């Protein structure tokens, strides 16, 4: 109180928790909210109660978190790099009674200790669940899904990834969710074509569907979706082969995405199918068709564009397209995102797109060929509002063409991997693009200095894998000039612990990849983990498994991913010595689940060998 007995403004704030809660609500970044929680107990409580989602990174912290965050409505267990148990899931189900969203399991780690029993605990105690994601749970099967269908009648969104024990009985259970609007099935299951067909006929309220089921036949499932789901708006498909013609019966699609890494059977009349789908869904805003070989013809692309005047996103495997199709794209006045992967430029189409003034925000020419400097310059000049630009492996432009990227001052994401970009063009880009957040320069051979990269002072994500110019001193310059850097990838570089020590000044660094860095012994990585408070994920070579470095990082609550030990690589000096006729003394390694890891060998001659001498997966790095 003030001397006259009047209450000061600070007293009012300290007295009124509602005011503090209102202030905390305005804090957008997690860093700011954490800082606010340190002010006093009142501010701490306001930050805690503002949280609605709890992300668990370590099982050891679970008891403490339960006492503090019982009110949360979303529980995310997908970031935990440890093996969780059924009893821990039961503890979570009992403790978090208000859950509406649940995520269990992650994309790159099997949770082998979780079975139906752990998932059923949520079905019994969390009846208000609306969103569920289950990933890589090999022992969770039909019983769990049957329990969820009975205990969680409000479920709207279901995402299943690699639950290999689930069979058609799980699909029968999914059909019981009367409120289901979003369904995503990705990876390996025991589903059959007949089981998938029932999804469309029973889940008639579906709005968003994603099927990524490998070789499983989905033709009948697509027919049932087209005939029985009048509200279907977003459809994403990834498969080996399928007949898409039945989807022309849909009338409500807004987004249509197809991806396949298999050569397509020309007898399926792909052109006719996609044009029929486009004509039946004239309100399509997103059309993505990334098929190996790029079978769509100029006529099909033209037909899609003419049928769907509201297109905002167009993504094509464009290796078969000519300037005729590109010039038709000019008529898409609502287009914001354009991807033309694999394009072989004819010299005029790209120039027309640049000159027509579409005002794109996303543009990609990944793996494009014969692109001229003048085409790239015209594209950049006509689309100065670009925010995302992907020119990975784009062949043709020189430093002169790449310098034109400086015209796009709003650029946030830039990928120039495997291109002829050089130091001078990068300097030009840095001067014109002051707010670039992500830069990918994988395998760029014409860049000679890290000093150039240090000019991008707003960088948050940097990938310089397989770059010979990466060295310790330059890494220190980047660390000093890029204070916002939070994700850094240095795989296949000659950096060592001395260089990594320089990264300790990057207080916002969270993720680091130093796999295949033969000169990294571990001390630099541990130093980063201790110095950078938010550091939580590091990718190391497999040789670090169960070493003091590995254990020290675990003690710092870091998630550690391991990749094939670079000590198994052919030495750099001997990379050309293998002629494909003999064998090399290489030892394969296994991941934590016992699966063989892909082997990466720096040996161009192995391309000719085609793995005739090695019975393990091979990725050739030139």
Amino acid 7: pLDDT: 53
Place of tokens 């399928």: 242
Other CB atoms within a 10 A radius of the CB of residue 29 amount to 8
Amino acid 121: pLDDT: 96
The count of residues in the chain is 622
Amino acid 618: pLDDT: 34
CA-nearest of 199, 115, 109 to 158 is 199
Name the pTM for this structure.
Answer: 0.81
CA-nearest of 158, 149, 147, 199 to 176 is 149
Phi, psi of 263 (to 5 degrees): -60, 135
CA 404 to chain centre: 28
Q: Report how far residue 268's alpha carbon sits from residue 566's, in angstroms, rounded to the nearest whole number.
A: 45
Amino acid 575: pLDDT: 38
CA-nearest of 168, 118, 158, 108 to 139 is 118
Amino acid 33: pLDDT: 54
Q: Which value, in Å, is the radius of gyration of the alpha carbons in the chain?
A: 27
Asked whether the CA dihedral 81, 82, 83, 86 is positive or negative, the reply is negative
CA-nearest of 590, 618, 589, 592 to 605 is 618
CA distances from 34 to 54, 485, 539 (A): 14, 19, 26
Amino acid 144: pLDDT: 97
DSSP letter (8 states) at residue 369? B
Amino acid 256: pLDDT: 97
Numbers of helices and strands, H then E, in the chain: 24, 23
> What's the mean per-residue pLDDT of the chain?
84
- Which residues in the chain land under pLDDT 50? 1-4, 9-10, 12-14, 566-622
Q: Report how far residue 201's alpha carbon sits from residue 198's, in angstroms, rounded to the nearest whole number.
A: 5
DSSP per residue over 486-549, as a string?
-EEE-TTS---HHHHHGGGG-TT--EEE-TT-TT--SHHHHHHHHH-TT--EEEEEGGGTTSHH
CA-nearest of 170, 108, 162, 99 to 131 is 99
User: Residue 263 burial by CB count (10 A; 0-12/13-18/19+): exposed, middle or buried?
Assistant: exposed
Structure tokens at 504: 């300790």
Amino acid 556: pLDDT: 84
pLDDT digits (tens, 9 = 90+) for 447-474: 999 999 999 999 999 999 999 999 999 9
CA 279 to chain centre: 32
Q: Report how far residue 426's alpha carbon sits from residue 178's, in angstroms, rounded to the nearest whole number.
A: 55
């Amino acid at each position: 109180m003030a001397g006259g007995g009047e209450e000061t403004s600070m007293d009012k704030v300290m007295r009124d928790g509602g005011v503090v809660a209102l202030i905390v609500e305005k804090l957008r970044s997690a860093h700011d909210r954490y800082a606010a929680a340190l002010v006093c107990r009142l501010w701490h409580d306001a930050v805690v109660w503002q949280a609605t989602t709890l992300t668990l990174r370590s099982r050891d912290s679970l008891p403490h978190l339960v006492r503090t965050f019982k009110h949360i409505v979303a529980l995310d267990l997908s970031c935990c790099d440890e093996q969780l148990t059924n009893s821990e899931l039961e503890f979570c189900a009992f403790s978090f009674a208000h859950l509406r969203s649940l995520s269990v399991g992650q994309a790159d780690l099997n949770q082998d200790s979780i079975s139906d029993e752990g998932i059923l605990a949520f079905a019994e105690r969390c009846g208000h669940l609306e969103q569920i994601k289950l990933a890589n749970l090999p022992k969770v099967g039909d019983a769990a899904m049957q329990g969820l269908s009975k205990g969680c009648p409000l479920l709207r969104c279901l995402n299943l990834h690699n639950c290999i024990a689930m069979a058609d009985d799980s699909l029968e259970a999914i059909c019981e969710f009367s409120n289901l609007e979003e369904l995503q099935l990705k990876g390996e299951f025991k589903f059959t074509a007949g089981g998938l067909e029932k999804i469309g006929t029973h889940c008639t309220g579906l709005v968003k569907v994603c099927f990524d089921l490998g070789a499983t036949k989905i033709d009948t499932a697509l027919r049932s979706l087209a005939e029985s789901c009048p509200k279907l708006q977003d459809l994403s498909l990834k498969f080996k082969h399928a007949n898409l013609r039945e989807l022309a019966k849909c009338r409500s699609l807004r987004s249509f995405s197809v991806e396949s890494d298999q050569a397509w059977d020309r007898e399926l009349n792909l052109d006719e199918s996609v044009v029929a789908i486009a004509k039946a869904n004239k309100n399509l805003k997103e059309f993505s068709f990334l098929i190996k070989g790029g079978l769509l013809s100029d006529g099909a692309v033209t037909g899609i564009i003419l049928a769907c005047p509201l297109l905002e996103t167009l993504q094509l495997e464009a290796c078969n397209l000519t300037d005729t199709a590109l010039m038709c794209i000019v008529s898409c006045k609502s287009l914001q995102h354009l991807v033309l992967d694999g394009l072989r430029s004819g010299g005029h189409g790209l120039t027309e797109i640049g000159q027509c003034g579409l005002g794109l925000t996303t543009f990609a020419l990944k793996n494009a060929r014969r692109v001229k400097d003048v085409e790239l310059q015209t594209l950049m000049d006509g689309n100065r509002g670009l925010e995302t630009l992907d020119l990975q492996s784009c062949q043709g432009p020189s430093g002169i063409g790449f310098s034109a990227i400086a015209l796009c001052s709003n650029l946030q994401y830039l990928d120039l991997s495997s291109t002829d970009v050089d130091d001078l063009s990068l300097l030009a880009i840095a001067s014109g693009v002051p707010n670039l957040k992500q830069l990918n320069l994988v395998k760029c051979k014409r860049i000679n200095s890290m000093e150039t990269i240090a000019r991008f002072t707003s960088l948050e994500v940097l990938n310089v894998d397989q770059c010979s110019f990466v060295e310790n001193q330059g890494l220190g310059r980047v660390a000093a000039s890029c204070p916002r850097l939070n994700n850094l990838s240095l795989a296949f570089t000659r950096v060592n612990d001395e260089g990594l020590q320089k990264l300790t000044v990057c207080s916002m660094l969270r993720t680091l990849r130093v796999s295949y860095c033969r000169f990294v012994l571990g001390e630099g990585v541990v130093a980063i983990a201790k110095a950078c408070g938010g550091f939580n994920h590091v990718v190391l070579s497999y040789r670090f498994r169960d070493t003091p470095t590995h254990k020290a990082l675990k003690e710092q609550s870091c998630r550690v991913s391991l990749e094939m030990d670079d000590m198994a690589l052919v030495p750099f000096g001997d990379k050309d010595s293998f002629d494909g006729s003999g064998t090399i003394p290489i030892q394969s390694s296994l991941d934590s689940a016992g699966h063989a890891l892909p082997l990466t060998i720096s040996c161009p001659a192995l391309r000719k060998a085609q793995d005739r001498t090695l019975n393990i997966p091979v990725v050739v790095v030139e």
